[in-house]
Amino acid sequence: MREGYKSVLEFLEADLEIEEEQEHLYNQLATVSKDARVKETFQHLARAAKGHKEAIGRIIKDIESDNHDVSFYCLMCGWEINFGKMPSVGNEERCSLCCQKFALVDVDNDYAIKFLPQ
């Protein structure tokens, strides 16, 4: 598991399971549906769930292969602060909009940021 992403990976893996279950259920309902419009709706929902499943799987793969940027929103102004793909705890970045300085910290195997004095 990629360090700093414990909770994110847990949420994504749970979402992946949900999408797999939904795809299976929608395909079953499409198979037994007698009404063409209802069948088409379930087929559409199954395709959507499959797409969600693939997108979530790509995100998990990117995180696990260290190919995912560690980014946060500035706690002062909401602008994105990017620490890059493989940062170290303790790295410091400054918000490019408001200039507030932050440090990357680890809280129970999850990345977080903390304010640094100016």
Tens-digit pLDDT profile for residues 3-57 = 899 999 999 999 999 999 999 999 999 999 999 999 999 999 999 999 999 999 9
Which helix (H) or strand (E) element contains residue 80? strand 80-82
Place of tokens 């749970």: 14
Strand-pair category, 110-115 with 101-107: antiparallel
Look at residue 4 in the predicted model and tell me its pLDDT. Answer: 92
- In 3D space, the residue among 79, 26, 85, 30 whose CA is nearest the CA of residue 50 turns out to be 26
| Residues 6+ positions from 7 with CB-CB distance below 8 Å | 110
pLDDT above 60: residue 1: no
Look at residue 92 in the predicted model and tell me its pLDDT. Answer: 97
Look at residue 3 in the predicted model and tell me its pLDDT. Answer: 83
Burial class (CB in 10 A: 0-12, 13-18, 19+), 12: middle
Tens-digit pLDDT profile for residues 55-108 = 999 999 999 998 999 999 999 999 999 999 999 999 999 999 999 999 999 999
0.85 surpassed by pTM: no
Domain ranges of the chain: 6-64, 71-115
